[in-house]
Amino acid sequence: MDDITQTAPSKDDCNFAMLAHLLGIFTGFLGALVIWLIKKDSSAYIAKESAEALNFQLTVMIGYVLCWILAVILIGFLAIPILYVANIIFCLLAAIAASKGTGYRYPFTLRLIS
């Protein structure tokens, strides 16, 4: 019988995962992309969390593009600050969860990277 044992991620893994989520506030998708490319083969936890952060930041970027297109009819100017605040809140929630070693799934995210 095959028993799958789940081990808690190491503190370094938790720190890299937390960094992938936090960098989204400052660098957009680039910070999560760099961490995902460098660390995806060394830890499954980092790979999963950085891919989640990357997917969310790509979704936010698509949202910003749509907001700027909708700015022509003025509704985009209202949506941009809402999207900005939502990005900060969700990134902070994900970083807190990642620092504790639990996974986080962003709501309203396109799963482009798996």
Average pLDDT of adjacent 10-residue blocks, the chain of 114 residues: 65 93 94 93 93 96 93 86 95 95 91 86
Domain range for 24: 11-99
Quick one: how far is CA 15 from the chain centroid?
A: 14
Residue type at position 114 = S
Tell me if 101 sits within 8 A of 8, measured CB to CB: yes
Residue 5's pLDDT is what?
55
Please give the model's pTM, rounded to 2 decimal places. Answer: 0.88
**CA-angle at 53, arms to 15 and 108, nearest 5°:** 140
Q: Return the pLDDT at 71.
A: 87
6 occurs within a structural domain? no
110 occurs within a structural domain = no
Taking a C-beta distance cutoff of 8 angstroms, is the pair 20, 49 a contact? Answer: yes
C-alpha 86 chain-centroid distance: 12
User: How many separate domains does the chain show?
Assistant: 1
What is d(CA 56, CA 106) in angstroms, rounded to the nearest whole number? 7
Does residue 74 lie in a domain region? yes
**19 located within any domain:** yes
**Confidence (pLDDT) at 1:** 46
- Contact status, residue 46 vs residue 97, Cβ threshold 8 Å: no
